[in-house]
Amino acid sequence: MKLFPILTVIANIHIVLASLLTSEERQLISCQMAVLNQHFIPGRRLLFSLPQTGHNATQQRAIVHTLKSSYDSHVLDFMLKTIHHESRWHLCVSTPDDESSSEPTSEVEGKIDYYLVVTTPEHTDDEISENALQQFGSFQRLRSWNQRADFFVMVTGKTQQPKLFALKLFDKLWKSENIMNIVLLVPTYDNATNKEEPMAFELYTWFPYRSGHCANVQEVTILDRWIITDNGYSFKDVLLFPQKIPLNLQACPLKVSVAGSEPYVFRHDIQDGNIQKYRGLEIEFLHIVSKFMNMTLVYLPTPAGSSVSQRTSILMSLSFGELDVVLGAFPMHLSILEFADATTPYLQTVFQWFVPCPTPVPRIETILGIFTVPVWLTLILVLILTTATVCFLGTRSYESALYNSMTRSFHDVWAIFMGVAVARLPRTSRLRIFLLIFLSYCFVINIIFQAFFVTFLVKPGFRRQISTFDDLMNSGLIYAFQEGTEIALNSTTYYDHTKLNLRRMKCLDHEKCLERLMISQDITMISIPLQAEYLAFKLIPIYKRWINVCFLNEDIHKMFFVMYLQLGSPLLDRFNTIILRTIDAGLVDRYWTMLKWEYHLKSSGNSTYDGNAGDNDLYFAFSLSHLKVTFFILFVGYILSFIIFVGELFYATLSKHRK
């Protein structure tokens, strides 16, 4: 029951304040509330900015005591009470000299959706503009600052030339903050009668791409007028915050600067036709956007210097308003988002360790690796024991003289082992049964050997790949590092590259380092897989496409490539819409496929390869080149046979001389 007297007191105070207002002041507040109720969606965040008071608002929190200007404080206080009484928006209050507005505790979560700015006049239109700019400057201290919000600016005083005042204010706010969605309420007076009371409130705005102005504030538009009469005059049903970016921008220029390397950006020396000076994956996105928006791309020269200095200079030019768009392997990063707006990510990639791929194993080594060393030793032992057994059984029975000596017995055992017929069959059943068992054993061993032998002749396989960071530490390669990559990794949580105990080499040309990695295979580096894939298609013919780069089984850092626009650029939403539709349609994926096919044809055309089936063809053609191992063994056998033959002749000659 105690709540009712309190509400009664508040209502009485509200009635008293309302009684202090003049008819013009009440109509100004009615005009304000009409705009808020018709054009500000309930439930959104609304920031009410009051004019500068001249001293710190933290000393006295009551607005009626802190507002000392030419305009009565009770009017501003009643404005605030009326908005608060509606309870339709999440309300925040700000003044330029309020130090608490820069503190995080005074901020709301998320971005502000609507700004209601009340500014007071002084002596000249220029001073009024500066006063308003101070209020807008106070918004920038807040993390909730939103340049794309809807701004409703109310001038509560007399201006000499309302239209000129609106033009100057819009021009300054556009050039400094890229503010476009703004409506200015200015009271107009009857200059003929010189009355102090305004006769109407006019609403002004501007359109950046109307009549070929190309984002230059050259004229303002009167949207509506509130005529002050005894009964008041409400607004017409006019949309105060329409979509101001048309679908067709009438070939307005779009200033662009690019960085990065192939395949994201290709530079050409074409002078005629500026739009064709660059091409590449990211440039393809830009071309599609400019085509659908009907904008003329104007490429500004890329600053000289290293990759890091180029990007730094380009981003500084963007923040100063000298550029509209920058692109070229720019990742989405929080430090850049503080002074630039990023588009929707259109390319996703990762930093990875690039290592040489394993080389093919020589066929000699492959064949020797069919069986392990213990198996080879076991086979040799089996041959020796079988020879001894055959010789023992031959001397204990009436066998042929071929089975009575170790030399002749080994000759027969080796013939069976190689799958060749012996000179004479054994006579006794015991020796026949033993040799039949040995023959079965040799048959199984030969089947296994021949199966692996043919397989390894066709596909000899590769050596062990470097697959872990520990393998890389013990690889003995040279670490080719890049300055830009090192700086990028320092802002992440990855530090393993600082622990690498390999010899370091500074990589000045990224493409040449990748080429050395693929061809010489003596370095390792951190890079992006897409660049390696492109370079492989560019440098390596299709029949040698196995000469490539491999990666460790871990991703270092994931990145999303974006374009950066000026902070608060009104073109951002159109860019994002077109980029998303381009991704969904797969237009850039098609461009990437065609680009790889182009370089595939170029590499095949410049190659001296005869077109015969190679190691990586789908169908394998068994040729004499794959029998090199067989002929090598045969040649070694001929040499050994010749040496033994010469040795036997020499021994026979010596024996005759002794006799």
Q: Residue 60 has what pLDDT? A: 37
Distance CA 275, CA 28 (A): 51
Q: Residue 197 has what pLDDT? A: 66
Sign of the Cα pseudo-torsion (264, 215, 571, 129, in order)? positive
- 600 pLDDT exceeds 90? no
What angle is formed at CA 615 by the lines to CA 594 and CA 466, rounded to 5 degrees? 85
Q: Residue 108 has what pLDDT? A: 57
In tens, the pLDDT along 173-232 reads 998 888 999 999 988 877 656 666 677 888 999 998 887 788 888 889 888 888 777 666
Q: What is the mean pLDDT of the segment spanning 309-319?
A: 91
The rounded radius of gyration (Å) of the Cα atoms in the chain is 43
Q: Residue 105 has what pLDDT? A: 42
| β-strand pairing of 564-566 with 549-551 | unpaired
What angle is formed at CA 113 by the lines to CA 112 and CA 114, rounded to 5 degrees? 100
- 252 pLDDT exceeds 60? yes
Max alpha carbon distance in the chain (Å)? 156
Nearest to 79 by CA among 8, 126, 27, 40: 27
The pLDDT-based confidence of 606 (bands split at 50, 70, 90) is low
- 638 pLDDT exceeds 70? yes
Q: What is the mean pLDDT of the segment spanning 262-266?
A: 86
Q: Residue 530 has what pLDDT? A: 86
Phi, psi of 525 (to 5 degrees): -160, 165
In tens, the pLDDT along 543-590 reads 455 456 788 888 888 889 999 999 989 999 999 999 999 999 998 888
In tens, the pLDDT along 40-67 reads 999 899 999 888 765 443 433 334 333 4
Token pair for residue 438?
Answer: 């040995």
Q: Residue 634 has what pLDDT? A: 83
**DSSP character string of 392-438:** HHHHTTT--GGGSSHHHHHHHHHHHHTT---SS---SHHHHHHHHHH
Give me the half-sphere count of Cα atoms (radius 13 Å) on the Cβ side of residue 273. Answer: 7
Find out whether 254 and 296 touch, Cβ atoms under 8 Å: yes
Phi, psi of 577 (to 5 degrees): -60, -45
In tens, the pLDDT along 372-405 reads 888 888 988 998 998 888 888 887 776 667 677 7
| β-strand pairing of 45-49 with 90-94 | parallel
Cα 512 to Cα 165, 261, 566, distances in angstroms: 59, 12, 34
Helix/strand/coil (H, E, C) string of 159-205? CCCHHHHHHHHHHHHHHHHCCCCEEEEEEECCCCCCCCCCCEEEEEE
Percent of the chain scored above 90 by pLDDT?
A: 16
Q: Which of 30-34, 245-249, 253-257, 646-650 has the highest mean pLDDT?
A: 253-257
Map residue 445 onto helix, strand or coil: helix
> Environment class of residue 335 by beta-carbon count within 10 Å: exposed (0-12), middle (13-18) or buried (19+)?
exposed
- 97 pLDDT exceeds 70? no
Q: Residue 632 has what pLDDT? A: 79
Q: Please tell me the pTM assigned to this model.
A: 0.72
Q: Which residue has the higher pLDDT, 245 or 617?
A: 245
Token pair for residue 566?
Answer: 């000026």
Distance CA 643, CA 593 (A): 61
Map residue 526 onto helix, strand or coil: strand
Find out whether 570 and 148 touch, Cβ atoms under 8 Å: yes
> Environment class of residue 317 by beta-carbon count within 10 Å: exposed (0-12), middle (13-18) or buried (19+)?
middle
- 6 pLDDT exceeds 70? no
Token pair for residue 57?
Answer: 């608002």
Contacts of 597 (CB under 8 A, 6+ apart): none
The pLDDT-based confidence of 255 (bands split at 50, 70, 90) is very high
| β-strand pairing of 347-356 with 523-527 | antiparallel
- Return the DSSP state at 331: B
- 3 pLDDT exceeds 50? no
In tens, the pLDDT along 443-500 reads 998 888 888 777 766 676 777 888 888 888 888 899 998 888 888 888 788 888 888 8
- 309 pLDDT exceeds 90? no
Q: Residue 612 has what pLDDT? A: 46
Q: Which residue has the higher pLDDT, 106 or 354?
A: 354
Token pair for residue 135?
Answer: 């209020």
In tens, the pLDDT along 113-144 reads 999 998 876 655 555 567 788 888 888 888 88
Q: Which residue has the higher pLDDT, 106 or 419?
A: 419
| Chain center to CA of 529 | 12
Q: Residue 56 has what pLDDT? A: 45
Map residue 349 onto helix, strand or coil: strand
- 236 pLDDT exceeds 90? no
Distance CA 319, CA 568 (A): 11
What angle is formed at CA 191 by the lines to CA 190 and CA 196, rounded to 5 degrees? 65
- 646 pLDDT exceeds 70? yes
**DSSP character string of 270-293:** --SSGGGSEESHHHHHHHHHHHHH
Mean pLDDT of the chain: 79
The pLDDT-based confidence of 8 (bands split at 50, 70, 90) is very low
